[in-house]
């Protein structure tokens, strides 16, 4: 694939899930902060380790986490709904609630880092489950564009019906007590051709990040990640990659 001109991201990686062919890469294995893209791994670990029929109660300590996504003390959530809500709005509260259910911070980090090793994500390690910066010099999670793309692809293969919910601009959720309207942090979902799922991630250290999986319309899903961009350009760069990839794959029928 030809190089893209004017990309501002620090790292990019795109590959064909069926053939494993690398379609585009730039600094793809550079270890960088990824912000809330980390929540894909948190979602995966929660779904793999918790009973999906279990109700999760939002405890008071959950609400002390940075950011307010509207969760209320004492309400109960279905696991799959809470995971989906977390991915859509990038809820740090939801991440903390899942962390508690998984046995606490230390146990969750053990599971997250073990998962990274098992998946071969060599540039990925977790210091928290949300991706929030720990300090002005230390990020909560480090990864690479390649690892982030692979992580999203793994989640897509295991839980496509959950990831599909991230293609919605907004979605209504109901706990046992409240109704929540979740607005997608990816406000460009309607403009992304063939979108199968996405996750944003932004912090001061990470900059603006985005990982996406889309269908090339010939049953050839493609996953890619953009790391270290800015809030506007990450979406423009993503749409440029999608359109270029569609042109390449469909035009060449590879």
3-state SS, residue 202? strand
Encoding tokens for residue 66? Answer: 């940075």
What pLDDT is recorded for position 229? 92
Identify the band that residue 4 occupies on the pLDDT scale cut at 50, 70 and 90.
low
What pLDDT is recorded for position 103? 97
Q: Are 76 and 57 in contact (CB under 8 A)?
A: yes
Buried b (16+ CB within 10 A) or exposed e, 151-160: bbbbbbeebe
Mean pLDDT lowest among 4-8, 46-50, 151-155, 221-225: 4-8
57-100 tens-digit pLDDT: 999 999 988 878 899 999 999 999 999 999 999 999 999 999 99
DSSP E strands in 184-240: the ranges are 195-203, 207-215, 221-229
List Cβ neighbours of 61 (8 Å cut-off, separation of 6 or more).
96, 100
Which DSSP category does 161 fall into? Answer: H
Encoding tokens for residue 209? Answer: 């990040």
Encoding tokens for residue 109? Answer: 């980090």
Q: Alpha helices of 122-193 — where are they, by DSSP H?
A: 145-158, 160-163
159-188 tens-digit pLDDT: 999 999 999 999 999 999 999 999 999 999
When the candidates are 3.30.230.70, 3.30.420.40, 3.90.1200.10, 3.40.710.10, the CATH number that belongs to 11-252 is: 3.40.710.10
Place of tokens 């599971």: 111
Closest CA to 186 of 172, 206, 200: 200
For CA atoms 161, 225, 150, 37, the dihedral sign is negative
Q: Are 156 and 139 in contact (CB under 8 A)?
A: no
> H-helix or E-strand containing 157?
helix 145-158
Checking DSSP bridges between strand 22-26 and strand 55-57, what pairing results, if any? unpaired
253, pLDDT greater than 60: no
10, pLDDT greater than 90: yes
| For the chain, domain boundaries | 11-252
């Amino acid at each position: 694939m030809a190089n893209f001109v004017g990309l501002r991201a620090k790292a990019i990686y795109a590959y064909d899930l069926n053939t494993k062919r690398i379609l585009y890469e730039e600094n793809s294995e550079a270890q960088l902060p990824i912000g809330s893209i980390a929540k894909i791994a948190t979602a995966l670990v929660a779904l793999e380790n918790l009973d999906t029929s279990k109700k999760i109660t939002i405890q008071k300590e959950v609400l002390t986490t940075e950011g307010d996504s509207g969760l209320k003390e004492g309400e109960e959530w279905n696991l799959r709904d809470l995971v989906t809500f977390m991915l859509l709005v990038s809820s740090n509260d939801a991440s903390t609630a899942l962390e508690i259910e998984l046995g606490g911070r230390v146990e969750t980090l053990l599971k997250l880092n073990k998962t990274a090793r098992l998946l071969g994500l060599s540039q990925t390690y977790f210091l928290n489950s949300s991706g929030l910066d720990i300090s002005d010099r230390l990020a909560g999670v480090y990864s690479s564009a390649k690892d982030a793309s692979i992580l999203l692809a793994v989640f897509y293969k295991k839980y496509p019906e959950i990831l599909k919910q991230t293609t919605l601009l907004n979605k209504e959720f109901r706990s046992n007590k409240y109704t929540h309207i979740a607005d997608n942090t990816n406000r460009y979902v309607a403009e992304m051709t063939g979108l199968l799922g996405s996750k944003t991630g932004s912090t001061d250290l990470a900059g603006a990040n985005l990982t996406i999986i889309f269908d090339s319309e010939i049953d050839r899903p493609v996953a890619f990640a953009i790391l270290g961009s800015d809030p506007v350009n990450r979406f423009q760069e993503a749409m440029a990659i999608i359109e270029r990839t569609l042109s390449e794959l469909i035009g060449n029928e590879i």
